[in-house]
Structure 1
């Protein structure tokens, strides 16, 4: 399988049409390549395949068997070697029915690791092959999961991303992946990342750490929480690197460090696009967000898009780059779109060619395949092996530890007096393990509906004391996706994290402060922080505190006891605010009315930027101000006040579970069907389609607990022909809820389909437990054994 490089270096008029390539430099560099003035590696490893089909997220390139977008799998790919001296192209592995992707060359240049899916019925597994094409070996075998993005570690272990802990993005239905590690022979696969969304495109830094792109959000919008993170090879010390609080670009992905500099090459892309975009060079010493850190960007005009618009702003580019790889601090290999510009009428506008780009702005087309795109280019040669960072964790179920040196060492704490923070609340953001087809329109698509506009449910694990000097030290459950809130003496939120942290068994993780300047020098300490002079604080082990938060269980009883006597349907105060418990197709009456009438100030699926202390939550909410000022003769206990504060500070959440008992009905929650709801709308003159999202204008129109009080019935006379039929539809919903409780009720059981999904999740967790046990005991366990 050989073709000529002469065919692939395009010197015709089509080159002149590329807006970002200047004709003179291209010809000049082309001549230098052939004259030997540019010292390209003798052999380049490349992938030839079709561009991934566009999907709803730039991470959704798996098209995994059995998932919602399987049919987008586009087969036909090859792992090839491009000889830059002779122009010959040799195939190591070709497939007409599958896809080869994500190669990485070993440190000695003798082996190649990659991800391979043989056909649409298969899933991606990790394979290894010799550089001469011999001894193809499969390393991972788990069924029903995708293993991608493998990476050799300095100790020859292998990092990769995988869907082995099945979870789905909260704003849609796409399966996500986390970081894993295994031995060179494929044994002892253990999970390193626990974020609730996607961790991928990992690369090895010069100091031995891993850099990867992470998509995550807590109380943030779905599209602009994709930045670069670092982690040690054992999974400890996950930390933000760049772009965690950027609204645009929506995806900062595919990082590669320069070989002799502390700068990072990466792609500035969009959420709802393929994994391509502008090519950017970041100097993190100049900033962890924004333009200041961007030393160079291709095309240069895309610099004006940084921090402008939203998560999809970079989709307007008419030239896009993908899979960068630095050959030196001055020259980079990168895939680049050939025919994407608006003037092009090429039949394959998404086709990518292999380019050499340099810091002077020159871009040279090195290779264009006749039919498909060229990706993942890198030298097939020995390379630098960074130091090995030793393991600093256990592989059991023991806890980890967090400390904060001084919570007041922070940005965005205006108006917060030292000594005013008394507690730190620890919260878990659980993963979403199932999905429904119908959705609720929050600040993104919730399938099923979970909250008014934010995406996550939450579990309060407890609070720990903050010492007078601002220090905190506590024990935390390992392997959980956690975030923290600072609380005052009333346990009202002062400030909240909107990103997650992970601690592994036996790991101690910490920070200088809360939202501290990550480029600042830690303050000089002459004394040991007070919290570190004691044993770590323990979180509450109360079962009530460790349940996932439920609006109906944990807050509504406060309203039932103190408020509903006046704030009910048909009451005068109810005209101002309904606080009744009655469920409707999506949530309940009080929840909808409080949200609709903006009685609480929350961030919802909030902005990417860090928010100021006191700017949202219980301190900023009108509902709290009214209650604390004294509302008629209502006197709430401290426990009841804390229940209200906690709910608001958790961002006004509602459902405790992502699972559903009514997966095919409106919002994945309603006990009445789409047909029944539409008919009810016809009878009552209410367009219920407009009520299935947080932009609705009407309060609750249905009360399943008391059907006759349903506000939608007021539109028709009780003695009309329409009334009995309309009432019967609502009563049918009441009866169904009695028979099949939904997720905001006691006795809830997920639907049968989701029970199967949950069973798969539990099976995978058992495999993970066995693998960790094998590591702890010095044994070896393989996918084949685990699957048996």
Structure 2
């Protein structure tokens, strides 16, 4: 059995829509209430495509073609570029990746795309290495959406399901809600200008409590709207009177039948609309006119393969104690490119659960100095996942951002390093804009990406095995002298050690915290000092066991930096996948 679209009339009668489809889902209503977008497929083996029909179910036409599986369409604001004579209407939708697998699961990754209403000019607008989903249009024309974030293990091995916003051309991605451990998805906007969303209790697609923020100050107005006694909710959608239509599940210790309800948050009332006897009623939408969002213009030029990143002051941050990272602490910015992996790396959930957690491959594009005022400015490849790491004087990553990107020809800026974007930045021209832009469009040979077999294993054998193989030190490390895959696997597993459930980063290894060299016991061992910072919680007071003097050959500065870079890049065992883009002409080799 498939899924179906049904029109529920005021008198309680129901009428099927999108007849002739094996499955139809994800309805969205046009601004005048006369059209409906939906995802559909005619047979069970078809890929999902986007269709549009009149609100009464007639005049069905296909929008997307030959893009693979597409779903969750929404009407967006009008779109304008300086190269076109007139703005055009477009839609946004979720598309499954054809050759990119999700970094946190064995499934293809999903990304947000847009196209014109006739299906032409398809554009990918998000470049996360995990999946993006649940787009919703905001009154100012931006898109709110749910995004899996897993650039490190700070939120555990599964990552974090966060709410983000961005322009309809994919520029200016920003958090929609403050960061914490709560999963958030299914956003919608009320007529009053509040962003309402579901916080699933199981961090997935299931129901959960409702929460919201004011779009005027989203990072400082977060409020939980429902409690355990109210039940659980799924797929909220606004009604013209300001209330919500939402799928409701009664509390476990209370009575009631699951179904569609009208939820008045101000009056704290739940009124039944439809209590289904068979199946589930999900993804409700009101067939009614609604305000048209603001139009958006764009500087994106698809023919340009480069973009720019700049920062006003890398010392600006959101720490509760300003003394933790004062001005001058950040010496260098490392720019990393995330490397998508295709079907060849597809593994099962069982393997993911049993194997040592692994971060996605990434390579160093450049390490650029921070200017005296904390600013930096770099040219980067457009339309690829980018991660920035702020480095201290030892080359240790102090803070790392999630996956960001810049679109073709865009200049993407930020105020600082995890700063509060609702604060007014200093009114000055940063030093970095007065100097030549740093080139980071292809890997810089001066900062090679460490490879475990070629770079790390030889250091371990020459500098660590004299004490850790057959001696009194523990753990004993196996030799990788033969350079065969089995020996390298054993050596890698021994270096990382067993999973330490009580570590600073949940699910990380005992001796190495992939992506966080500063909290890794191995780093403190080879540097002989505590490198964790005050914001690293328990790791900030970890005991340090330096290498005993005279008992092993000393590591050179280059060897130490190689190990630090390897850990901060994820401490991977395997080699990097092949790059899937061409270096732009005129870029540095």
Smaller-chain TM-score bracket: 0.7 to 0.9
| Residue 76 of structure 1 pairs with residue 2 of structure 2 | yes
CA distance in 2 between counterparts of 1:533 and 1:233 reads 31
Summarize deviations over 1:5-47 as a string: whole Å, max 9, x none: xxxxxxxxxxxxxxxxxxxxxxxxxxxxxxxxxxxxxxxxxxx
Distance 1:438 1:361, change over 3 A: closer
| Residue 121 of structure 1 pairs with residue 40 of structure 2 | no
CA distance in 2 between counterparts of 1:174 and 1:545 reads 36
Summarize deviations over 1:353-377 as a string: whole Å, max 9, x none: 3434342111111123442322222
Distance 1:563 1:341, change over 3 A: closer
Structure 2's unaligned 5+ residue stretches are 79-88, 510-515, 529-544, 583-589
Alignment match, 1:231: 166
- The 5-angstrom pairing of residues 657-672 of structure 1 reads 657=576
User: Paired residue for 1:603, among 478, 492, 505?
Assistant: 505
Alignment match, 2:407: 504
Distance 1:440 1:100, change over 3 A: closer
Summarize deviations over 1:471-496 as a string: whole Å, max 9, x none: 11111111111111111333232332
Which SS does the other structure have where 1:77 is aligned?
Answer: coil
User: Paired residue for 1:529, among 413, 430, 444?
Assistant: 430
1:462: how far off? 1.6
CA distance in 1 between counterparts of 2:216 and 2:488 reads 47
CA distance in 1 between counterparts of 2:327 and 2:443 reads 30
Summarize deviations over 1:513-558 as a string: whole Å, max 9, x none: 1011233332x33x31110112311128457578765322232222
- The 5-angstrom pairing of residues 207-286 of structure 1 reads 207-220=140-153, 221-243=156-178, 245-248=179-182, 251-261=183-193, 263-271=194-202, 273-283=204-214
Question: Would the aligned equivalents of 1:618 and 1:648 in 2 still touch at CA under 8 Å?
Answer: no
CA distance in 1 between counterparts of 2:339 and 2:313 reads 28
CA distance in 1 between counterparts of 2:102 and 2:201 reads 16
| Residue 490 of structure 1 pairs with residue 394 of structure 2 | yes
Q: Which has the greater radius of gyration? A: 1
Which SS does the other structure have where 2:433 is aligned?
Answer: helix
Question: Would the aligned equivalents of 1:103 and 1:112 in 2 still touch at CA under 8 Å?
Answer: yes
CA distance in 1 between counterparts of 2:241 and 2:417 reads 35
Distance 1:154 1:212, change over 3 A: same
User: Paired residue for 1:331, among 243, 268, 284?
Assistant: 243
- The 5-angstrom pairing of residues 422-441 of structure 1 reads 422-434=331-343, 435-437=345-347
Higher strand proportion (structure 1 or 2): 2
| Residue 135 of structure 1 pairs with residue 59 of structure 2 | yes
1:341: how far off? 3.3
Alignment match, 1:455: 359
Distance 1:536 1:617, change over 3 A: farther
| Residue 445 of structure 1 pairs with residue 353 of structure 2 | yes
CA distance in 1 between counterparts of 2:236 and 2:54 reads 23
Question: Would the aligned equivalents of 1:172 and 1:445 in 2 still touch at CA under 8 Å?
Answer: no
User: Paired residue for 2:561, among 619, 642, 652?
Assistant: 642
CA distance in 1 between counterparts of 2:168 and 2:403 reads 19
Distance 1:541 1:184, change over 3 A: closer
1:645: how far off? 1.6
CA distance in 2 between counterparts of 1:519 and 1:619 reads 38
Alignment match, 2:587: none
1:618: how far off? 8.3
Question: Would the aligned equivalents of 1:335 and 1:375 in 2 still touch at CA under 8 Å?
Answer: yes
CA distance in 2 between counterparts of 1:462 and 1:557 reads 24
Question: Would the aligned equivalents of 2:450 and 2:565 in 1 still touch at CA under 8 Å?
Answer: no
| Residue 105 of structure 1 pairs with residue 29 of structure 2 | yes
Distance 1:252 1:279, change over 3 A: same
Summarize deviations over 1:629-662 as a string: whole Å, max 9, x none: 855462433322210221232343322358xxxx
User: Paired residue for 1:295, among 209, 218, 223?
Assistant: 223
Distance 1:330 1:459, change over 3 A: same
Question: Would the aligned equivalents of 1:336 and 1:355 in 2 still touch at CA under 8 Å?
Answer: no
Alignment match, 2:439: 538
Alignment match, 1:572: 471
CA distance in 2 between counterparts of 1:222 and 1:614 reads 17
1:82: how far off? 2.2
Question: Would the aligned equivalents of 1:408 and 1:470 in 2 still touch at CA under 8 Å?
Answer: yes
Which SS does the other structure have where 2:459 is aligned?
Answer: helix
Distance 1:386 1:438, change over 3 A: closer
User: Paired residue for 2:306, among 363, 384, 399?
Assistant: 399
Summarize deviations over 1:452-477 as a string: whole Å, max 9, x none: 43432221222111011101111111
When the two structures are superposed, what TM-score results if normalisation uses the length of structure 2?
A: 0.82
RMSD: 3.6
| Residue 191 of structure 1 pairs with residue 114 of structure 2 | no
CA distance in 2 between counterparts of 1:272 and 1:488 reads 34
Distance 1:542 1:476, change over 3 A: closer
| Residue 174 of structure 1 pairs with residue 100 of structure 2 | no
| Residue 418 of structure 1 pairs with residue 323 of structure 2 | no
Distance 1:374 1:539, change over 3 A: same
CA distance in 1 between counterparts of 2:191 and 2:58 reads 29
Question: Would the aligned equivalents of 2:364 and 2:444 in 1 still touch at CA under 8 Å?
Answer: no
CA distance in 2 between counterparts of 1:545 and 1:281 reads 47
Structure 1's unaligned 5+ residue stretches are 1-74, 303-318, 608-612, 659-757, 767-788
Distance 1:171 1:494, change over 3 A: closer
Alignment match, 1:695: none
Distance 1:361 1:651, change over 3 A: same
| Residue 153 of structure 1 pairs with residue 76 of structure 2 | yes
User: Paired residue for 2:268, among 332, 336, 361?
Assistant: 361
Question: Would the aligned equivalents of 2:360 and 2:570 in 1 still touch at CA under 8 Å?
Answer: no
Which SS does the other structure have where 2:564 is aligned?
Answer: helix
1:406: how far off? 0.6
Question: Would the aligned equivalents of 1:265 and 1:281 in 2 still touch at CA under 8 Å?
Answer: yes
Question: Would the aligned equivalents of 1:283 and 1:295 in 2 still touch at CA under 8 Å?
Answer: no
CA distance in 2 between counterparts of 1:379 and 1:436 reads 40
Distance 1:496 1:189, change over 3 A: same
Once the two structures are overlaid, the 10-residue window that deviates more, 208-217 or 164-173, is 164-173
Alignment match, 1:89: 14
Summarize deviations over 1:140-166 as a string: whole Å, max 9, x none: 2226x3101111122220111101444
Question: Would the aligned equivalents of 1:193 and 1:199 in 2 still touch at CA under 8 Å?
Answer: yes
Distance 1:540 1:94, change over 3 A: closer
CA distance in 2 between counterparts of 1:579 and 1:487 reads 32
1:417: how far off? 4.2
CA distance in 2 between counterparts of 1:618 and 1:532 reads 39
